[in-house]
């Protein structure tokens, strides 16, 4: 189901917010994500503005039915990477301390966990530049 077509009250305990193209581009990685949770909501941030997605997912969280969100994207997509920024935007709007949030990126048909610090760094080009120069 697509995030923007869903009803915020139909959510359950754990949900996956996944880039729409992941299933087609990385089919074996998609199978690995299904093992984590089969309650998948697709989202294409090339079609939907990030702010609209934040509002919709915030509504899902407001129902208090969601205990865990898994964000999954393909690597190197400038649109898909924004999926991982949603949690930061949501944390500015609401208390997320009772929601477990995990992030995964699909590379070569495998999924890899991505930590919050890496996501934060990906939004800070100057800090990345400084880290690169320190090496």
Q: pLDDT of 20-55, one tens digit each?
A: 999 999 999 999 999 999 999 999 999 999 999 999
Q: Lowest mean pLDDT: which of 37-41, 107-111, 123-127?
A: 123-127
pLDDT at position 135 over 90: no
Dihedral angle sign, alpha carbons of residues 16, 83, 75, 102: negative
pLDDT above 90 covers a percentage of the chain that reads 91
What is the C-alpha separation between 133 and 127, in angstroms, rounded? 10
Q: Give the residue carrying structure tokens 């991505």.
A: 114
Domains of the chain: 3-134 (3.40.1360)
Give the pLDDT score at 29: 98
Average pLDDT over residues 78-83: 93
Give the pLDDT score at 115: 95
As a dihedral over the C-alpha atoms of residue 110, residue 106, residue 63, residue 39, rounded to 10 degrees, the angle is -50
Average pLDDT over residues 92-113: 96
SS (H, E, C) the chain: CEHHHCCHHHCCCEEEEEECCHHHHCHHHHHHHHHHCCCEEEECCCCCCHHHHHHHHHHHHHCCCCCEEEEEEECCCCCHHHHHHHHHHHHHHCCCCCCEEEEEEEECCEEEECCHHHHHHHCCHHHHHHHHHHC
CB of 84 closer than 8 Å to CB of 114: yes
Residue 57: band (very low, low, confident or very high) from pLDDT cuts 50, 70, 90: very high
What is the C-alpha separation between 77 and 89, in angstroms, rounded? 19
Largest CA distance in the chain: 49
Average pLDDT over residues 7-25: 95
Average pLDDT over residues 121-125: 90
């Amino acid at each position: 189901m697509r995030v923007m077509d869903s009803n915020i009250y139909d959510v359950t305990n754990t949900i996956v917010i996944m880039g729409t193209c992941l299933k087609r581009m990385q089919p074996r990685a998609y199978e690995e994500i299904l093992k984590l949770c089969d309650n998948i909501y697709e989202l294409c941030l090339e079609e939907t503005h990030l702010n609209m997605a934040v509002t919709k997912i915030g509504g899902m969280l407001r129902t208090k039915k969601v205990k865990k969100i898994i964000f999954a994207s393909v690597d190197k997509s400038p649109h898909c990477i924004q999926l991982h920024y949603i949690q930061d935007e949501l944390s500015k709007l609401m208390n997320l301390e009772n929601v477990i949030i995990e992030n995964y990126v699909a590379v070569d048909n495998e999924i890899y966990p991505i930590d919050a610090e890496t996501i934060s760094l990906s939004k800070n080009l100057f800090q990345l530049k400084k880290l690169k120069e320190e090496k």
